[in-house]
Amino acid sequence: MKKIEFVYRELLFNAIEKENRHLTQAYLAQALEISLSTVNLALKPLARMNSVRIKKTGFDIIDAKKILYYWASIRNVEKGIIYQTRVDAPVKEIEKEMPDDVVFTAFSAYKFKFKDVPADYSEVYVYGDENVKKRFKESKEIPNLFVLKKDEIIERYGKTATAANLFVDLWNLRQWYANDFLKALEAKIGRILE
């Protein structure tokens, strides 16, 4: 994940999960441990599309939905995959066997976050590192376990990806049922996005 995506994740985490729409560039730089220039670079396209209003004392998120769709359009999940393999077990078992330091995304994250599944699924996506590779041996079969590179701050948000991070990951998946999960997620966060 690129550093500017850290900014989008934090903006949307504040707007969706904390219902806080006023932030400062200094707060983002400090919280995300990135430079102020990276924060400003990330905000430029958002200001241009009128989804944030920059003020002297910070900025307001005025259209979180636009930010969400913008991030989804620039996100590249496939590029972030550092390991994939086939595990001959049901997804529930794969999820149970995950190392403690992973962060679930996609279908598993939706299930854990909302205690619901809008469709059956057969793949597990996590943000993780070498610990997953050690636990699940490499296979040349069609993969059903995908490990995305875990960034240094994602664990701050919990054991599942944020609602926005979950949305942009689902948006970029090819499985037909990803759309069912997306629609269900949009229904859950739609009220907040407006």
Distance (Å, rounded) from C-alpha 70 to C-alpha 122?
Answer: 28
For residue 27, give the H/E element and its range: helix 25-32
**Please, what are the domains in the chain?**
3-74 (1.10.10.10), 77-193 (no CATH)
pLDDT at position 66 is 96
Q: What rounded mean pLDDT belongs to the chain?
A: 95
Reported pTM = 0.93
DSSP 156: G
pLDDT at position 194 is 66
pLDDT at 96 over 70: yes
pLDDT at position 37 is 95
Q: Where are the beta strands (DSSP E) in 15-173?
A: 22-23, 52-55, 58-61, 81-85, 103-105, 124-128, 145-149
pLDDT at 180 over 80: yes
pLDDT at position 57 is 87
Distance (Å, rounded) from C-alpha 136 to C-alpha 94?
Answer: 9
Binned at pLDDT 50, 70 and 90, residue 191 comes out as: confident
Distance (Å, rounded) from C-alpha 60 to C-alpha 160?
Answer: 26
Distance (Å, rounded) from C-alpha 40 to C-alpha 153?
Answer: 19
Q: Where are the alpha helices (DSSP H) in 84-177?
A: 91-96, 106-114, 130-135, 163-171
pLDDT at position 162 is 97
Q: In what order do the strands lie in the sheet with 103-105?
A: 81-85, 145-149, 124-128, 103-105
Binned at pLDDT 50, 70 and 90, residue 34 comes out as: very high
